[in-house]
Structure 1
Amino acid sequence: MKSTSLLAAVPVALISFSQIVAAASSAQDHFASSFVEDNHHHDQDHGQHNQKPNFLVFLTDDQDRRMNSLDHLPLVKKYIRDEGTEFTNYYTTTAMCCPSRVSLWSGQFAHNHNVTDESAPHGSYTKFVSQKIDKNWLPTWLEDAGYSNNYIGKFINGVSPTLKQAPKGFDKHHWEPLIAPNIYTFYTPVFATNNGPLEPHTGVYQTDIISDKSIAILDGLAKNKTNPFLFVISPTAPHDEVWFVNGTTKFTPPVPAKRHEDLFKDAKAPRHPSFNPEVQDKVSWIGALPRLDESEVDRIDAIYRARLQSLQATDELVERIIKRLEHNGQLDNTYIVYTTDNGYHLGTHRMFSGKQTPYEEDTNIPFIIRGPGIAKGLKSNAVATHTHFPATVLTLAGLPVPEELDAYSIPVLENKAVYGKDAPTEAFAVEFWSAAMMENTTFTSNLNTYKSVRLIGQGYNLLYTVWCTGEREYYDLVKDPFQVKNIFKETKSTLLNRLDALLNVLRTCKGPTCRDPWSVIHPENKSIEEDNKKHGHHERGVHSLTDALNKKYDEFYADLPKFSFESCIQYYLSSNEHTIPVHTEL
């Protein structure tokens, strides 16, 4: 290498991951300040006229994208998919409802907000409250800008009769969560309104109650012509029913509204190549699973039908809400989002049912948005995650984006100039620390802690995972979209070394280093703008996997340490995640 190179200036064998991070730290303030500056967009850039837009979010629970449930929702198609843009490369970065939902509102990966489980002490509303996440998150930023924030339905697990207070941002407006232990019971739901008395219901379908209440809230908001609003509507369909009996948790299939019980009688879970495969090449606990027998496959199909049936009331809810928005004169100035917290597998890789794995069935989820300035009937392959959502809302509202957010805005608008210098997302981490379980079974495993890096770019779509057992997986999803064959042992070390380096950055990244991980590994990087001005695109350094694969970096990446877990614990502990030096004598 030339002596002018930063890589040559420091002996490669002596470079540690901590030194790389330190070398990049001086650039973080610049990244952060430009991130905020570039996101102070004028209202006219996205079709607004001095009035802030409204935001209405339909947030379902455990809805798949890979098993085609969206194709069985004709009203969602008519009112949102056909009228907006669907993002096919949209992900949750932790496939479990509590950490996923907290990332959605905080704009942080789970290793930063540290809500990493469904129950205390490492998850649930108890952990959310103790972490004081609501001091600095999307609802409070919107409230500071004059928004009225409203929520009805499921928030996260652990909202209970003794812990039902509204989080900041909702406490001065409308907060109506479902209350444990009746969050997941379709005909016996319990709500609490604005920290007040509990409101139990018997014999009326949960989604229909949410629909009626939502109409009343919308009508109340329509009377207030001065304040824009955020309104989140979150039914629990198509989640299983959950019952707590004698200290144990029991899962049963979701229950549809009675009017939908006879639908989809012949429907079966899609028989993708990953469905109950004959050859099992997975690692950790998944690799030891036996093939599903005929009775188990029949049960899976029955659950699949119940999930589709339970979503039909949500489909009707969508139509009713959008028609009321139009009736109230609110529709033209409202961004409407349809998404879920995490995906769901049924029969995938011999797994019975549930979530919590790094595979596409659990992480690749629906995200559709319609509203001013958004293309209609479009499918976009832009990469985004729940962590991108707060920056997206703030950008659409013409509000500043806090520098600590872990992701840029999703490029939802047709006018891409609005996004300034925001770089497209290529790489992000998928992370998990809790035990595995399969719903509708008694199966559990304590070997489900892992961290993955996902890379999606021009011509490549990759998943690389390091498990707490020491095992590793690598999939090329362009060639193998259903992740049937683990090709880790067949893959060149030159590529795997790049993925290890990225994973080492993303596993602890914060703010700017999450948004631009390559500049942590290559602190000598020029900015795209500086490079284009002085040298041309090809001289700009490393900003993508394609750039990093230049052969001149082979030795550099080969000498970087590898990521590993100390042991399989079921919570996030930074000291349990470390690097293994390539050279034992440093």
Structure 2
Amino acid sequence: MALIEGVGDEVTVLFAVLTCLLVLALAWVSTHTSEGADPPPQPQPARTAAPARPSEPMADLDSIRGEAPAAETPSLRHRGQAAQPEPGGAGVTAAPAAAADPPQEPLVLRLKFLNDSEQVARAWPHDTIGSLKRTQFPGREQQVRLIYQGQLLGDDAQTLGSLHLPPNCVLHCHVSARAGPPRPPCPPGSEPGPSGLEIGSLLLPLLLLLLLSGGPAAPALAASARRPNVVLLLTDDQDDVLGGMTPLKKTKALIGEMGMTFSSAYVPSALCCPSRASVLTGKYPHNHRVVNNTLEGNCSSTSWQKTQEPSTFPAILRSMCGYQTFFAGKYLNEYGALDAGGLEHVPLGWSYWYALEKNSKYYNYTLSINGKARKHGENYSVDYLTDVLANVSLDFLDYKSNFEPFFMMISTPAPHSPWTAAPQYQKTFQNVFAPRSKNFNIHGTNKHWLIRQAKTPMTNSSIQYLDNAFRKRWQTLLSVDDLVEKLIKRLEFTGELNNTYLFFTSDNGYHTGQFSLPIDKRQLYEFDIKVPLLVRGPGIKPNQTSKVLVANIDLGPTILDIAGYNVNKTQMDGMSLLPILRGGSNLTWRSDILVEYQGEGRTVPDPTCPSLSPGVSQCFPDCICEDAYNNTYACVRTVSALWNLQYCEFDDQEVFVEVYNLTADPDQITNIAKSIDPELLGKMNYRLMMLQSCSGPTCRTPGVFDPWYRSDPRLMFSSHGSIRTRRFSKHPL
């Protein structure tokens, strides 16, 4: 019997080898017979109106695809529409001009390649696009694609004069690495490999062969073929409560209406850097220890780089799950600081890095392109940051490998100040004003002293200022809406949309006049801690709204779960949303989350308001300050079938407490701390202390209002000491 089994194994191996040889032979024949054909061009979706500068030097783009840099500078294959050959000779063909026409001036054009090199070309207005290609790239004209202001110049018979090109204008030039006639865009999985064979044509037969043979690699290959892609779109300071999603009509239609909208999505800290650190790590601020927007507050500090960046979810996706990872936009507020590695620092886990130096801007900024600095100016057509991010994201989708799933994180400057809208949107929303909600321009009675110090009513100049800011914020979001539309159209065009999850959210909310505070974030109220969260993807039914309580610490666990990684292997505090997204029933879910913030104040009087004592910051000309050292607080936000509460404690001499019943008082006008049942107050105080010392699984324990809640005093303390020491530490590092 053993002999028979041995013979059977040998026959199986021989059969597999012969089958592989047959597949290789068929692929070779298919490749060489198809190269003689000239397939028709396929349509390509239009790019964003304002083009970015070329996406990356050649070596960096090749490294994304796992290939060595090409020998020739501009030789990178583009998966878009190839230029069609123009009938006629190889010389420059000039169209006959009318006798009455004045003499034409020659055009001076700058052909800019992906590695930032340039080539000057001279032509006449009556020259065609095809003749320009033949003149500048003799013998390779069929491999050349020219792009002007984001639009592919695909008609070789079109004259240059019809484009109305300004003097010394830039044409972005993509030259494919493959010789031969133009080819249509490659479907996913069909990029040519180094051997010259169409590897994509081999992938399916070989995969089927391995699956049938039951070899040890078969399950891994099958899982890899099914793993979804993920795109995370993160805006800056976009609120949910005051209508922040209103201008994003296309985003709501393309993501929200095609998937799920979360109506109770929160951030654990209402400030950019701590909140973004929570997105990346899946942890509350007391665990990732980023407490404000400064290096001293651990924002992109060397300590953060050493202790937290190696365990972010993108790093796990890259190292453990084999994902291509792409970042574009604002990272952390102090990224690029010289004291923390400068722009040369590229965080672990990113295979493509296109990060903004420090805080949000729209013009006159510097980007780190895989650790190399690139300055941008104030020319809308090449420098407007939201459009630059859109275009480099589309470039990534063109040049990425088709053999690995991908993760993209696109972090826009909008709608953060200075609220610079694209030129075409600067006159929109002229009749829009900041919402006059019930808590607009009223005194914050029975609230923390920082809220009570705001002057009520606000001056007319303050109201005019915040109305203008509100309007400009919406204007900047229109370019984000365009970005989302372009991205989804490109994913649909490449056939990857149905296998891609898209998340849209913000790092924190915002206020404009609530409780007479002019404009900012940082406060504990709904307008500052509640954010939009829209998700679409495989297995998510359209037009759904979920009321479950979620936080941005859940994004990392969710994306790792999508990638097939066991979240329990991490130290993340959040929970995977995937069961909710897929419509799971009888799920056990949390009923509360932690919100914590460490206030900032100046050691000297604020120059805007010299009459004020030291210890305050973010002050306006009316001497209304938005922050202070003792604006340090921690809250439990509870949302369940029976309760909708918020309990907060301040670290000040009063140990001030604010409590709100948001079912009866959604605008949080009345602080009920002194009138609420003392037993209920004690339960919430206990839960707050427990959450402030939690880590990993203990952050996901049932809340005090859950029926399965059990009291465990040991959870109130950590290995670092008592909760009181840990909660309001002034020196997180």
TM-score by length of 2: 0.62
Alignment partner for residue 168 of structure 1, among 348, 360, 372? 348
Rounded Cα–Cα distance in structure 2 between residues aligned with 1:502 and 1:86: 28
Identity percentage over the alignment?
Answer: 29
What is the Cα deviation at residue 176 of structure 1? 0.7
Contact 2:689 2:723 in 1 (8 A): no
Rounded Cα–Cα distance in structure 1 between residues aligned with 2:579 and 2:463: 39
Rounded Cα–Cα distance in structure 1 between residues aligned with 2:683 and 2:252: 40
Rounded Cα–Cα distance in structure 1 between residues aligned with 2:332 and 2:619: 18
What is the Cα deviation at residue 179 of structure 1? 1.2
Query: In structure 2, do the counterparts of structure 1 residues 473 and 48 end up closer, same or farther at CA, with 3 Å as the change threshold?
Result: farther
In structure 1, the residue corresponding to 2:264 is in which secondary structure?
Answer: strand
Rounded Cα–Cα distance in structure 2 between residues aligned with 1:175 and 1:273: 44
Contact 1:450 1:465 in 2 (8 A): yes
The yes-or-no answer on 1:504 pairing with 2:504 is no
In structure 1, the residue corresponding to 2:547 is in which secondary structure?
Answer: strand
What is the Cα deviation at residue 200 of structure 1? 2.3
Rounded Cα–Cα distance in structure 2 between residues aligned with 1:293 and 1:567: 41
Contact 1:429 1:451 in 2 (8 A): yes
Query: In structure 2, do the counterparts of structure 1 residues 447 and 279 end up closer, same or farther at CA, with 3 Å as the change threshold?
Result: closer
Rounded Cα–Cα distance in structure 2 between residues aligned with 1:126 and 1:188: 24
Provide the alpha-carbon RMSD of the alignment. 2.8
The yes-or-no answer on 1:431 pairing with 2:596 is yes
Rounded Cα–Cα distance in structure 2 between residues aligned with 1:68 and 1:464: 25
Structure having greater relative contact order (Cα 8 Å, sep ≥ 6): 1
Task: Name the residue aligned to 2:628.
Answer: 445
The yes-or-no answer on 1:214 pairing with 2:384 is no
Alignment partner for residue 302 of structure 1, among 468, 484, 508? 468
In structure 2, the residue corresponding to 1:72 is in which secondary structure?
Answer: coil
In structure 1, the residue corresponding to 2:446 is in which secondary structure?
Answer: coil
Contact 1:152 1:234 in 2 (8 A): yes
Residues 225-374 of structure 1: pairs in structure 2 closer than 5 A: 225-241=402-418, 254-278=419-443, 280-291=445-456, 292-374=458-540
Task: Name the residue aligned to 1:14.
Answer: none
What is the Cα deviation at residue 572 of structure 1? 5.4
Per-residue deviation, residues 128-175 of structure 1 (Å, max 9, x unmatched): 6454211112012111211001000100111226422111101xx100
Question: Residue type of the partner of 2:250?
Answer: L
Contact 1:406 1:515 in 2 (8 A): yes
Query: In structure 2, do the counterparts of structure 1 residues 139 and 430 end up closer, same or farther at CA, with 3 Å as the change threshold?
Result: same
Rounded Cα–Cα distance in structure 1 between residues aligned with 2:223 and 2:580: 12
Task: Name the residue aligned to 2:252.
Answer: 77
Question: Residue type of the partner of 2:378?
Answer: T
Rounded Cα–Cα distance in structure 2 between residues aligned with 1:414 and 1:120: 37
Task: Name the residue aligned to 1:404.
Answer: 571
Task: Name the residue aligned to 2:54.
Answer: none
What is the Cα deviation at residue 198 of structure 1? 2.4
Question: Residue type of the partner of 1:459?
Answer: L
Rounded Cα–Cα distance in structure 2 between residues aligned with 1:432 and 1:546: 29
Task: Name the residue aligned to 1:92.
Answer: 267
Give the gaps of 5 or more residues in structure 2. Answer: 1-218, 602-616
In structure 2, the residue corresponding to 1:231 is in which secondary structure?
Answer: strand
Task: Name the residue aligned to 2:647.
Answer: 464
Question: Residue type of the partner of 1:282?
Answer: K
The yes-or-no answer on 1:571 pairing with 2:730 is yes
What is the Cα deviation at residue 288 of structure 1? 2.1
Question: Residue type of the partner of 2:650?
Answer: W
Query: In structure 2, do the counterparts of structure 1 residues 358 and 278 end up closer, same or farther at CA, with 3 Å as the change threshold?
Result: closer
Contact 1:102 1:115 in 2 (8 A): yes
Contact 1:463 1:475 in 2 (8 A): yes
Alignment partner for residue 191 of structure 1, among 364, 367, 386? 367
What is the Cα deviation at residue 227 of structure 1? 0.4
Contact 2:502 2:537 in 1 (8 A): yes
The yes-or-no answer on 1:106 pairing with 2:293 is no
Per-residue deviation, residues 40-97 of structure 1 (Å, max 9, x unmatched): xxxx9xx988421101111110001011020221111121111111111111001111
What is the Cα deviation at residue 284 of structure 1? 2.8
Contact 2:271 2:292 in 1 (8 A): yes
Rounded Cα–Cα distance in structure 2 between residues aligned with 1:99 and 1:464: 21
Residues 526-565 of structure 1: pairs in structure 2 closer than 5 A: 544-545=705-706
Rounded Cα–Cα distance in structure 2 between residues aligned with 1:282 and 1:467: 11
Residues 383-398 of structure 1: pairs in structure 2 closer than 5 A: 383-398=549-564
Query: In structure 2, do the counterparts of structure 1 residues 508 and 77 end up closer, same or farther at CA, with 3 Å as the change threshold?
Result: same
Question: Residue type of the partner of 1:102?
Answer: A
Q: Please identify, of 59-68 and 193-202, the stretch whose mean Cα deviation from structure 2 is larger.
A: 193-202
Task: Name the residue aligned to 1:577.
Answer: none
Per-residue deviation, residues 98-154 of structure 1 (Å, max 9, x unmatched): 111111111110000101110111132125645421111201211121100100010
Report which of the two structures shows the higher radius of gyration computed on alpha carbons: 2
Rounded Cα–Cα distance in structure 1 between residues aligned with 2:528 and 2:223: 36
Question: Residue type of the partner of 2:247?
Answer: H
TM-score by length of 1: 0.76
Question: Residue type of the partner of 1:133?
Answer: Q
Per-residue deviation, residues 460-500 of structure 1 (Å, max 9, x unmatched): 11100000121100000011011010010010101001101
Task: Name the residue aligned to 2:379.
Answer: 203
Question: Residue type of the partner of 1:490?
Answer: S
Alignment partner for residue 545 of structure 2, among 379, 386, 408? 379
What is the Cα deviation at residue 439 of structure 1? 7.3
Per-residue deviation, residues 516-570 of structure 1 (Å, max 9, x unmatched): 055xxxxxxxxxxxxxxxxxxxxxxxx7345669xxx9xx99xx99x99689978
Contact 1:475 1:483 in 2 (8 A): yes
Task: Name the residue aligned to 1:41.
Answer: none
Per-residue deviation, residues 156-205 of structure 1 (Å, max 9, x unmatched): 111226422111101xx10010113xx43312232110012323233222
Contact 1:84 1:377 in 2 (8 A): yes
Give the gaps of 5 or more residues in structure 1. Answer: 1-43, 242-253, 519-542, 575-586
Question: Residue type of the partner of 1:98?
Answer: C
Alignment partner for residue 178 of structure 1, among 346, 350, 356? 356
Per-residue deviation, residues 392-444 of structure 1 (Å, max 9, x unmatched): 11222222112422121125655444x9x963111111001132754765734
Question: Residue type of the partner of 1:114?
Answer: R
Rounded Cα–Cα distance in structure 1 between residues aligned with 2:236 and 2:639: 26
Rounded Cα–Cα distance in structure 1 between residues aligned with 2:666 and 2:303: 35
Question: Residue type of the partner of 2:471?
Answer: R
In structure 2, the residue corresponding to 1:313 is in which secondary structure?
Answer: helix
The yes-or-no answer on 1:484 pairing with 2:669 is yes
Rounded Cα–Cα distance in structure 1 between residues aligned with 2:550 and 2:479: 28
Alignment partner for residue 454 of structure 1, among 637, 643, 662? 637
Question: Residue type of the partner of 2:272?
Answer: C
Per-residue deviation, residues 260-293 of structure 1 (Å, max 9, x unmatched): 0110001011111111115633113112221112
In structure 2, the residue corresponding to 1:65 is in which secondary structure?
Answer: coil
Contact 1:506 1:517 in 2 (8 A): no
